[in-house]
Amino acid sequence: MTEGCTEYSYNKTGCAGADPQIKIDRLEKTYRRDGKKTEAIEDISLDIRQGELVTFIGPSGCGKTTLLKLIAGLITPNGGTVEINGRPCTQPGADRGMVFQDFALLPWRSVRKNVELGLEIAGVPRAERREKAESYIRLVGLERFADSKTYELSGGMKQRVAIARALVVRPDVVLMDEPFGALDAQTRNIMQAQLTDILGSTDQTIIFITHSVDEAIYISDRIVVLTKRPTAIREVINIPWARPRDRSSSEFNALKKRILDYLERENVMDS
Ligand SMILES: Nc1ncnc2c1ncn2[C@@H]1O[C@H](COP(=O)(O)OP(=O)(O)OP(=O)(O)O)[C@@H](O)[C@H]1O
Ligand SMILES: [Mg+2]
């Protein structure tokens, strides 16, 4: 594989350009609990530019969620730094929105009230809140369910609420931890297409974690393949192909096989 950005593959920090939005620099994380040490992240450096959709994929338990939490500022690294727009991410901030695998919705609140939550916290006045929430509820196709309580919804619908809730506050960066992991295959495909559609119309940066190689190739501008724990970057793959991508193409399947072969060697079963 050649170096640089013309081929679909290149290594380590990649080519985010001279002025990256996010700079991850020599990040390290070791957990210490009950006298036990778990080294999660060994050494990760990566530059990400504004508007990129970057996916992290790697063996189960390698440290993906840890990495996302470090970027979110929810936990503190043992070494290294994360900066967004030149500012260190040492605590959570409104510039970053997070979508968790388990949705983290408030079940007794309506769809509308869940989507309005971040705006409420930010002190956005009621009428403006309602209007903004409405447009994002429409964007994810849930207008008929705006007044339903979220416990009444299917997994796919809950996931769409969680995405609308993260996007409505217009964070510079959206952090998504296996957001489609609990969905059936068909809903998952629809959500992937919707996500790339939604993002095509904004300049938001997305950092996305998945276990699915197919999903990563379908949605990403770049895929960062991680090693097993303590994790480090194995490879960064640039995917310049136009969207929507053709899952049946030979180049799609050749890349899928190459990543799967590696992950299977490292003990990951999902495709
Ligand atoms: N708060 C914590 N205290 C101690 N160890 C932790 C903590 N959180 C995670 N770990 C450990 O750190 C390692 C990495 O965990 P992490 O959740 O980041 O992995 P992951 O790649 O997201 O896993 P999965 O594929 O299951 O989502 C694991 O061995 C995990 O048990
Ligand atoms: Mg995880």
Ligand 1 pocket member 181 (CB < 6 A): no
pLDDT confidence of residue 128 = 96
127, 82 contact by CB (below 8 A): no
The values of phi and psi at residue 14, to 5°, are 70, -165
Ligand 1 pocket member 38 (CB < 6 A): yes
Which of 96, 62, 77, 68 minimizes the C-alpha distance to 28? Answer: 77
Q: Where are the domains of the chain?
A: 11-95+174-265, 104-170
**pLDDT 10s digits, 149-199:** 999 998 888 888 998 898 888 899 999 999 888 778 888 888 898 888 877
- Residue 239, sorted as left (phi over 0), alpha (psi -120 to 50) or beta, turns out to be beta
**pLDDT 10s digits, 222-233:** 999 999 999 999
* Positions in the chain whose pLDDT score sits under 70: 1-18, 268-271
The SS3 call for residue 267 is coil
Counting ligands in written order, the one closest to the CA of 100 is: 2
Counting ligands in written order, the one closest to the CA of 59 is: 1
Q: Give the atom of ligand 1 at the shortest distance from the alpha carbon of 60.
A: 25
CA–CA dist 153, 114 (Å, integer): 13
Q: What residue's CA is closest to ligand 1, atom 6?
A: 31
Who surrounds ion ligand 2 at CB < 5 A? 64-65
Helical residues (DSSP H) of 93-240, grouped into ranges: 111-121, 126-139, 155-168, 185-200, 213-219
Q: Give the atom of ligand 1 at the shortest distance from the alpha carbon of 226.
A: 21
Question: 8: which strand partners?
Answer: none
CATH superfamily of 11-95+174-265: P-loop containing nucleotide triphosphate hydrolases (3.40.50.300)
Which of 25, 53, 21, 31 minimizes the C-alpha distance to 209? Answer: 53
Residue bearing tokens 């900066």:
83
CA–CA dist 31, 203 (Å, integer): 34
pLDDT confidence of residue 2 = 35
